[in-house]
Structure 1
Amino acid sequence: MKKRSNTPGQRAGRPAFAATALFLATAAPVQAQTIIGFEGMPTGQLMVDQTETEQGYAFTNVWGDQFDIIDENISNQLLAIGQYGAVAQGDVLVVRREDGRPFWFDRFDLRSASSYHSDSIDMVGYIADTLIFALAEVNTNTSAWLTRPSGFGAPISELHLVGATAGQMALYLDNFVFRATAGGGTITDGGARVHFSDFGVVGYAEGGFNVRLEFPAGLNHGYEVGWFLRTGPDPAQVRQPIPDSATYESDTATFTWSGDGIGGLTAQLVVVIEDTSPAQVGSSGASRWTLTLGNPDAEPRTVNLFAYTDIDADASTDNTAVLAQANERIQVTGPAHSIIDIHGIGADRYQVEAHPGLLSLLATDFLTLQNTGLPMTGDYTGALQWQDRSVPAKGTLTFEWTISATTADILFINGFEG
């Protein structure tokens, strides 16, 4: 195949940095980074279906013959697009983590092979086959290296480099900066255990976190627990985003959010589990969920916070639920008589519906909970609302709820909350 000329050709170029983002986003807090410099890959053309890996990331040529790893000046390898001919629309190179986990894409370096417009590509991010972000018409007309932020404000599971428009020269790419997302994890105390699956931590769960609430370990009373937030005049509440960080240490899990997707506020959720059974066998226990919102603005922010719970007491969807304390405390009883107590400390409103009715309302509509739905039997889902609360300027506001379990009564809960 003929090597592409370094002299200008007749193919029309595009303005440098013609870009379109499908979502406005800001960068997430810096975590451990992986820089892909292509030094660990063999040089040469990436053939269709060929995969090369570096530091846990796999680059696969799905379609096209214009993806090459080249050695620039015998000192720096890079990814060349259109080195030997024009890139074609629909050429696709896909980047994934070898372990299949989602990842953050922060930035990359680019330049033209010469001082003429390079070929253009679209950078498209997906998670679970859903398009999340797109950076369109990535190109440049300078031969000097430039660093460009991706603008991707959420994790992705695949990054697609898609041929868009032919320019006059090859597009050179280098130093892709990726960050792994935190995974699921488990916290324990005695014989009680809470497990957070990957859904909600590295991928989306409809209700926030997909969780196992095990009192005792092995007997799961949970399905999903999470929070929804509405800020100021927003037309609807939003589900908690994927957290920027997640840590699990002994009896405590901590999750943080930088502000992307929650109106510019920051958030930290701390979950603590306690085994309250006399013999520490987990037959009774409690989990405390403490969410702190931070307001970086110079003016107060009004928020509505919803704590959502999908409880399957005794690992069953055949539950009975009653209001234990207006309007902030609900008890769910399973067929084996385990009692799950959900207490939103100081909550103003509640609503209970059989799955998935309430979740559909939270996910789509401006919602004020109606203090309805109890008593009920069936597949329990419920939410507690703190209504029109003010987050102080340059300050924080904290919300707390507990989810507790016992096989007989809930007398221990008062001690845990005191």
Structure 2
Amino acid sequence: MRQLIRGRTLSFYADPIDTETAYIYHEDGAIITQDGRIKAIGPYADLYDPALPETDHRPHLILPGFIDTHIHFPQVQVVASWGAQLLDWLNTYTFPEETRFAQQGHAPEMAEHFLNLLLAHGTTTAVAFCSSHKASAEALFSAAHARNMAMVAGKVMMDRNAPEGVLDTPQSGYDDSKALIAEWHGKGRQRYAITPRFAITSTPEQMQMTGQLVREHPDCHIQTHLSENRDEIAFTLSLYPKARDYLDIYETYGLLSQNLLLGHSIHLEPREIARMAETGSRAVFCPTSNLFLGSGLFDAQGLRDAGVVSGIATDIGGGTSYSMLQTLNEGYKILQLRGQKLHPFAAFHWATRGNALALGMQDQIGTLDPGTAADLVVLNSRATPAMALRMARAETLAEELFILQIMGDDRSVAQTYVAGKPMLPGMPG
């Protein structure tokens, strides 16, 4: 199907931190999509074709769909669980909740809720941790595939320091991951992420098997956690006493590369930062989670200056919102406490093209470039009375974006498109 989608279009072709001319904006713009991809973008007057079906989203903004680079699919029903820091939170809420994903029918039901929530918040691609049960990953991939929605996901591998109901073994973790890769990696828009939860829950034997998977499947992403909490770091190093530091555990087993996504990466040693930069390993900033669990303040500028590429993510369910707008809001505040600034152009670049760069998928998602997937989010900057009142005084695009960043949430999402198909019922599109 060929169609024209009209509105105010905004897409980034460079990082606004690096250049003053990082984006293309059309006040009255249009996007032509065909077979799930963007065929053309430009001023409406140049692309208008009376033969094309047309959807008019004016005066709303049309951007690439948001990308969430770290989220836990099995934690959708423990979001907003009170009163603990990381390790206690995992033991009290997360691990017991994840045992439920062994129950027949539970994972498929949660997968539908999970993807519907992502789309309602304007997120079109996510990098997701599933539970340790193979069926949880199968359910998520199946639901995403049915929507033609790009998903990067994997079942967590964890063989110690958790309840029996969520443990695998080095061999079963390897076997299940191998089978999921064979079935889902590269099927439609699905990609597999090899997923050792973190060093605390994996024995050296399991880490060794993880390294074997990485060598056998060099085109898969790898996702795990690093240096989120100081107690976590101390416990990790007690389990791996020969390690020079936390990152050295992952380095020892051959995981460091541009495909590695290291959730949190807050309390890093200089050697770790240098090795992340040298190997291209990615840090992932999870602001709402870091605040909720009292974990610490991410050093975005320090990592950038060192040459480390960073993504930004919700980290549901330690994170408190599915909204990338609210994630950018809390990210702004954390960086304020760091004495750093997050300009709205840089923020919206980060949630779109920046996260695509972190995934090495910028040729497929994260921009409105012709040839990329027609994954779009339509944003209403006057979605609430308070936003409309504030917008009455806004004079620039940057001001409007900042209002969306600070005051926006799912109410600001007027429509979400996946591969050119509108996904929110009852909304224009």
- Give the structure-1-normalised TM-score: 0.24
TM-score by length of 2: 0.24
Higher Cα Rg: structure 1 or 2? 1
Q: Relative contact order: is structure 1 or structure 2 higher (C-alpha 8 Å, sep ≥ 6)?
A: 2
Q: Which has the higher strand share?
A: 1
Give the number of the structure whose residues are more often helix, by fraction: 2
